Copies of this chain bind each other. A is one copy, B any other.
């Protein structure tokens, strides 16, 4: 059985408690989750104790009231269920100031990415990677906030060859490249709620051409999932007004990594070619170059 968050704290002070407090404490030691799962009155009933005793116990343990006592227990459940990363931070820096915001955002993103390690997501990632590897050509589509993810995937893949085509362009011509697509090709679509209408239309058109659709999206009930052959899901929640796309970018990088590792030798060769080309073009510099503009 799982220990509660205040296990040792309660034991320490147990001897100083009155009889009723001890009875309440004993019940909580044995059923820590119940604190978060039922009301105080019901917990008191189950412990054979008056409701007020629970309040008194919480105060005895140094809480301002029972409510905060329960929050502590609820947090433990949340953290235990989610995994491991964010244990330390969670509550200790709940300030609304700006530095606190940055801290909370980073912790949260880090935790979200760590949670992508669950077996289900890993296996979905693998499915996607395999399908991408076997496709003749990969059309990549991501609009608005998802553009960065789609484009980055495409960019990295261009370093490995010319297998991908980025569906984007001025004057609404983005989807036109699909004209040459065949059933041997796949569409990799990235979209989050609210789902861009155009993305869905292009995906639907791809399906009608007999192409497979692979989705990187935010929910099991995303419209993309219903028409996709494979899908990987990622969280987008953030402490700000916006969604976060960092987990999505992580996923796209993982896909690139998987694809490269499928064909290590080929990847290395392509990278060398790109390398020598770019250096012949004088694309990069290690220091501030003499001004030319």
Contacts and interface: CB of A to CB of B under 8 A. Distances in A.
B103 A117 contact: yes
B286 A227 contact: no
Contact of A98 (B113, B126, B268): B126
Q: How large is the interface on A (under 10, 10 to 19, 20 to 34, 35 or more residues)?
A: 35 or more
Interface string A70-88: 0000100110111111000
Contacts of A177: none
Interface in A11-53: 11, 14, 22, 25-26, 29-30, 33, 36-38
Interface in A102-142: 102-103, 105-107, 109-111, 113-119, 122-123, 125-126, 129
A82 B33 CA distance: 10
Contacts of A273: none
Number of copies of this chain that the complex holds: 2
A223 B254 contact: no
A62 interface: no
Contacts of A103: 117, 122
A267 interface: yes
Interface string A194-235: 111110111111001000000000011101001100000101
B204 A129 contact: no
Interface in A245-293: 245-246, 249-250, 253-254, 256-258, 260-262, 267-268, 271, 282-289, 291-293
B246 A102 contact: no
Nearest to A11: B220
A283 B90 CA distance: 36
B22 A221 contact: yes
A-B residue pairs, 9 tightest by C-beta: A194-B284, A240-B257, A148-B152, A148-B148, A110-B114, A110-B113, A197-B285, A37-B74, A14-B221
8 contacts: A1-B233, A14-B221, A103-B122, A148-B149, A200-B289, A202-B293, A240-B261, A241-B267
